[in-house]
Amino acid sequence: DAGVIQSPRHEVTEMGQEVTLRCKPISGHNSLFWYRQTMMRGLELLIYFNNNVPIDDSGMPEDRFSAKMPNASFSTLKIQPSEPRDSAVYFCASSLARREIQPQHFGDGTRLSIL
């Protein structure tokens, strides 16, 4: 079975540009998570969805960040306008939320560099 698929793997763009990160969760998983990883702050949960509905977006740093999950097989994380401090590795993870807890499966991440 294919794992969580993220694209692009690397993104380099200039400050002020719009950035869109994409994620395809594992088929059948009903929970999706977006994380940001930096040396200074470690792994931070930005937002998570359950059955395509955003449950908790308290980790989204500010209004420049937005995330959508239009269907069970696709999610996007958008930054507009981007700033150098947004440079980080962004991970998407999915899991099957049911009574017996299933672990999260992570994508390979997108390394984002804002110049």
List of residues contacting other proteins (CB under 8 A): 31, 33, 42-43, 45, 48, 50, 55-56, 89, 91, 93, 95, 97, 101, 103-106, 108-109, 111
Please, what is the minimum distance in Å from the beta carbon of residue 106 to other proteins?
A: 4
Please, what is the minimum distance in Å from the beta carbon of residue 51 to other proteins?
A: 11
Other CB atoms within 10 A of residue 113 CB: 13
Please, what is the minimum distance in Å from the beta carbon of residue 16 to other proteins?
A: 27
Q: Confirm if 5 and 107 have CB atoms less than 8 A apart.
A: yes
Contacts 24+ apart (CB under 8 A), 95-98: 95/29, 95/31, 95/33, 96/28, 96/29, 96/30, 96/31, 97/30, 97/31, 97/50
Please, what is the minimum distance in Å from the beta carbon of residue 37 to other proteins?
A: 8
Take residue 112 and report the two structure tokens written for it: 């984002």
Q: Which amino acid type is present at position 102?
A: Q
Closest CB to other proteins among 42 and 70?
Answer: 42
Closest CB to other proteins among 19 and 93?
Answer: 93
